[in-house]
Structure 1
């Protein structure tokens, strides 16, 4: 599968209205788009940050949805978004959460790596990181999304509530250190969000 991410920042006071639009009137047109396979909406209300991930059955569905999704972004994120960044990714490894409760939390980690080390990064996440995440209390889902040509990746992990999320910080930090050393990757950032919506669509 492939994923389109939207990263927006803006006035924190305007964030909740954008979230309301996304999770209500924005949901139906998203679900009706051919090739749509799921979505997640994540927020940092204090800083005014919004992360959206939409999942697509293949690269063609990702490409063909671009214009419609661009129009939807404009409608849903105005007037909140002062900055907006859209990226496309290959879902290299994924255990997707089917849904989340109100207390769910999301951690996003960004890494850069030599494109020739892409398979090493994928193997390290699939065989080392994901099984350890799966063993953690409260873990609901996680994925490694990659840009093979650009040598970039993002890791997302969702936890059921604030307590299990907090308890995961130390072991997650240890794993980041191990993986970046093994793959010679550069850690760019670690961010934390509330998970306000996760939806999954079955294959057609």
Structure 2
């Protein structure tokens, strides 16, 4: 499984119009493409930062859509009042769902970098240690890990039932995250929190 993420810095005043456009135009069009397994969208309403992620059955299916997605991306950027979207392509290394997210869901995303030679160990610790500990968090919904095996860049997204659950988890999640990083010699580059504006990923459990 693979994913393409597009990050836009939207004009906050255009955010609702942009979300509507992605929901009503982009999502149906992408869903009809061969190999598509869904779309999700995260938004920070204060800053206007949005991350739209499409998931694909294979790297080949993702590559085959690049031109069509580029045109949609340009149109969406206009709707959001955004310029120069950042695009990344990833392997979906792991996906774990304890519960469906729900319309009030929020997400905490941690971007990190690790030595590519240690990726198999990272995945092992993710499966055997991180997932069981996250399952115990009140309000926890799902955990996914996107990975670039060449650079070691990765994106870990934890989804919670709502803003209150995410905020209540912050201290405990920070402790787990820091322990995870030290154990695996990972360098965290950024942590950010978002509303889950759209949750239409159909990626199966991958652990």
Measure, in 2, the Cα distance between the counterparts of 1:99 and 1:73: 27
Q: In the alignment, which residue of structure 1 is the partner of 2:50?
A: 50
State the match for 2:109 in structure 1.
Answer: 108
User: TM-score scaled to structure 2, two decimals?
Assistant: 0.92
Distance 2:170 2:2 in 1: 27
For residues 97 and 21 of structure 2, what CA distance do their matches in structure 1 show? 24
Alignment deviations for residues 97-155 of structure 1 (CA, whole Å, 9 cap, x no partner): 88533321011100011111111221121211112112222211111111010111010
Aligned partners of 2:116 and 2:201: how far apart in 1? 30
Q: Does 1:168 align with 2:169?
A: yes
In structure 1, the residue matched to 2:71 is: 71
Which residue does 1:39 correspond to in 2?
39
- 3-state DSSP of counterpart to 2:86: strand
Gap regions ≥5 residues in structure 1: none
CA-based RMSD of the aligned residues comes to 1.7
Aligned pairs for 1:49-198 within 5 A: 49-79=49-79, 80-96=81-97, 100-198=101-199
Structure 1 consecutive aligned stretches of length 4 or more whose deviation exceeds 2 Å = 96-102, 200-203
TM-score by length of 1: 0.93
Unaligned runs of 5+ in 2: none
CA deviation map 1:163-194 (0-9, x unaligned): 21111111110111111111111010000000
SS in 1 for 2:50: strand
Partners of 2:36 and 2:158 lie apart in 1 by: 21
Deviation at 1:82, TM superposition (A): 2.4
**How many aligned positions are there?**
203
Equivalent pair of 2:42/2:50 in contact (CA under 8 Å): yes
Instruction: Give the 3-state SS of the residue equivalent to 2:33 in structure 1.
Output: coil
